[in-house]
Every structure is written in C-alpha cells, then in structure tokens.
C-alpha cells in the first residue's frame, strides 16, 4: 500500500521536475513534517504553532515565551527557555516556536506595542501591555498558577490558540 507521505513527496518531485522542464520557477512548499518558515528559537525537530487572538493593534511585536515544565522558573527573570518575537498583526497574530523535544511546556505571550523589548507595567506593577497564557486561564485575581498553563506537546505542528488580554 502506498503511504500518503510518499504520494505527497512524489507529487512535489514531479512538480519540481515539470517546473524545471518548462523553465518556470518551482513553487515554494515545505516538505511534509517541516516547520513553517519563520519558526523561531533554537532549531529542533519539534515545534509549536501559536495563534494569538484579540491582538489590539499591528504596532510592535508579540513575544512568545517558552517555559520548561518547572513551576519555580515560570515568569521569573531568566527562567524561560527562549523568547521568540513575531510582528504583531491587529486581530490575529501567528507565530511558531521550536521546543527542545516533545514534552510539557508553558507559553506566555505579551504584546510589546512600543517595541522596547520589555513587558510594560504601570507604577503599581499592573500590566500596561497585552498578555496571554497557554490554556487561557483566568487572570482576574492575579497571575495564573503554573498547573493551569501547562501544555502537552507530544508531537510537532500542534497549534495553541491564546486569547490576548489588555488592561
């Protein structure tokens, strides 16, 4: 029995040969199982697609912060594995971040509208910029507990939708 991956690979090869024979440029396509273009972070064989919904404006960037499955490092300075940044788009912003390997992680987002590379806070320490967390936990009474943001990433290419919240 022919496997679907083999069919796709054969179709891509035939399309590339046909494009070369006709003198036209080949169509850019990612190979099955390949990460999307622009995936950020130290390259690995595992990645996570992030969709930030409710982004207020297209100013600045949306920072995607990846945390290991360790509550003592969640939201502390230098506690993250990696921070990736993607240009903000009003409404929905999409990004991709490599994770070291399949496992459990936490993701925190913030909309760095002024582009200063920091999460803005008011004089009282409250958020001044938009933010969101994996699993979309309630944040009315303060920061979410680590267990509410844990996200299982058993394989590449999964998508996590995060609703942004603004002060």
What pLDDT was estimated at residue 32?
57
Strands 82-87 and 61-68: antiparallel
The terminus-to-terminus CA distance of the chain in angstroms comes to 56
Cα 63 to Cα 131: distance, rounded to the nearest angstrom:
9
A 10 A CB-CB count for 94 gives 14
What pLDDT was estimated at residue 103?
97
What pLDDT was estimated at residue 24?
33
User: Could you tell me the two tokens for 167?
Assistant: 């002060």
pTM: 0.78
Cα 25 to Cα 152: distance, rounded to the nearest angstrom:
40
Instruction: Find the mean pLDDT for residues 97-125.
Output: 92
What pLDDT was estimated at residue 25?
33
Q: Please list the residues that pair with 61 across neighbouring strands.
A: 87, 112
Length of the chain equals: 167
Instruction: Find the mean pLDDT for residues 84-108.
Output: 97
């Amino acid at each position: 029995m022919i496997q679907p991956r083999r069919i796709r690979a054969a179709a891509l090869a035939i399309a590339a040969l046909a494009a070369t024979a006709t003198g036209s440029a080949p169509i850019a396509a990612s190979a099955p199982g390949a990460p999307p273009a622009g995936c950020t972070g130290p390259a690995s064989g595992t990645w996570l697609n992030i969709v930030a919904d409710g982004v207020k404006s297209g100013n600045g960037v949306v920072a995607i912060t990846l945390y290991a499955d360790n509550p003592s490092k969640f939201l502390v300075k230098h506690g993250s594995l990696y921070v990736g940044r993607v240009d903000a788009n009003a409404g929905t912003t999409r990004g991709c971040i490599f994770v070291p390997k399949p496992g459990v992680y936490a993701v925190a987002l913030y909309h760095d509208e002024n582009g200063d590379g920091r999460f803005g806070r008011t004089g009282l320490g409250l958020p001044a910029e938009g933010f969101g967390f994996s699993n979309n936990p309630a944040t009315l009474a303060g920061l979410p507990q680590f267990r509410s943001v844990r996200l299982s990433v058993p394989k590449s290419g999964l998508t996590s939708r995060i609703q942004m919240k603004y002060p």
